Amino acid sequence: MPELPEVETIVRVLRPGLEGRRFTRYTSRWAKQAVPSVAAVRRGIVGRRIRRLWRRAKYIVMDLEDAGNAARRKRIVRGADDRHPSEHLLIHLRMSGRFEWASQNKDKPRHVRAVFDLDNGRRLLFCDQRKFAKITYTTDLAAVTGKLGIEPLERRFTSAALDRVLRGRSRQLKPLLLDQTVIAGLGNIYVDEAMFRAGLHPTVRSEHLTSEETRRLRTAIRAVLRKAIRHRGTSFDEAYLGGGMQKYLDVYGRTGLPCRRCRTPIERFRIAQRGTHICPNCQPLDGKR
């Protein structure tokens, strides 16, 4: 489910309830979800304060306060300080991970895989129908996130930067845009949406884009992500937050419906095992590419 805009939305929603709080208890109902292990996550986070909650690509990142006692301090990586905390809890939601605050006057949430208790008595539930999500405790953030590519909403993501990405290899455009080591945070929905906005066919070879097409693609990626964040992401079922972006999708999930721009029916096919949606008229594939 979640791509960059959904993860960003979740971080913004959770931040007031988590920053400054301390974990008092962590229990897991799905051991394989915890990395490196349930015990290691528990040792790493219980008793620790969450200094900051932020997002890197599709990861939810919690910076943990450095340990307060001498025994723990010894274990901390050298150089850790307020600006560069050395201990982190990372959550990757994969296909179906989601957070929910425990509450008595609601139905029991389904697929609860982990429970986090906080020092103010609140309880955060982590649910994950398909059990693909990962909860990682690490003292080496770069070991987890170091291979991720550029953040598409950062200033550094210029047309020139995208141009380098596209020309540095010879791949079909869509699989390249989905590659987290190249651009970090795009998923199947927003890649399809961005390519539609840019008028580009998903199988175009990346190195063949003109500089004008590259500029259009950069603008399209940023616009679609910003719009999705503004609408709090895309919801596909009742489970998720109530984001409203699905109302504004142009191609994803609109197979057979008329293109909003030219009325041509939207087509769906498969690239790299991913359902792919295009308007064949707005996203032509000219011969040589």
Partner DNA sequence: TGGTATGTTCCAAA
Partner DNA sequence: TTTTGGAACATACC
Is 3 annotated as catalytic?
yes
208 touches DNA (CB under 7 A) = no
Q: Which of 25, 274, 280, 289 is catalytic?
A: 274
- Of the pair 95, 257, the CB lying nearest DNA is at 95
Per DSSP, 250 falls in state S
Q: Which of 169, 226, 230, 261 is the binder for DNA (CB under 7 A)? A: 169
| Cβ within 8 Å of residue 155, ≥6 positions away | none
From 41-49, 156-164, 258-266, 267-275, span contacting DNA (CB under 7 A): 267-275
Q: How far is the CB of 130 from DNA (least distance, A)?
A: 4
- Of the pair 9, 86, the CB lying nearest DNA is at 9
Q: How far is the CB of 200 from DNA (least distance, A)?
A: 15
Is 74 annotated as catalytic?
no
From 42-50, 114-122, 172-180, 215-223, span contacting DNA (CB under 7 A): 172-180
Integer-rounded Cα Rg, in Å, for the chain is 21
- Of the pair 15, 171, the CB lying nearest DNA is at 171
- Of the pair 3, 66, the CB lying nearest DNA is at 3
The site for DNA, by CB under 7 A, has a size of 34
The rounded distance, in Å, linking the Cα atoms of 166 and 213 is 11
Q: Which of 115, 132, 153, 159 is the binder for DNA (CB under 7 A)? A: 132
The rounded distance, in Å, linking the Cα atoms of 1 and 90 is 17
CA geometry: angle 83, 16, 185, nearest 5 deg: 65
CB count, 10 Å around CB of 107? 6
Q: How far is the CB of 264 from DNA (least distance, A)?
A: 21
229 touches DNA (CB under 7 A) = no
Joined together, the tokens standing for residue 223 give 């616009």
Question: DSSP string spanning 48-81?
Answer: -BEEEEEEETTEEEEEEPPPSSHHHHTTSPTT--
Q: Interaction with DNA in 28-87: which residues (CB under 7 A)?
A: 32, 57-58
122 touches DNA (CB under 7 A) = no
The enclosing H or E element of 112 equals strand 112-118
Q: List the alpha helices (DSSP H) in the chain.
A: 4-18, 38-45, 70-73, 141-145, 159-167, 173-178, 188-198, 211-230
Is 274 annotated as catalytic?
yes
- Type of residue found at 244: G
Is 213 annotated as catalytic?
no
Joined together, the tokens standing for residue 52 give 């900051």
Just list the catalytic residues. Answer: 2-3, 58, 274
Which residue ranges make up the site for DNA (CB under 7 A)? Answer: 1-3, 6, 32, 57-58, 92, 94-95, 111, 129-132, 169-172, 175-176, 178, 180, 187-189, 234, 236-237, 271-275
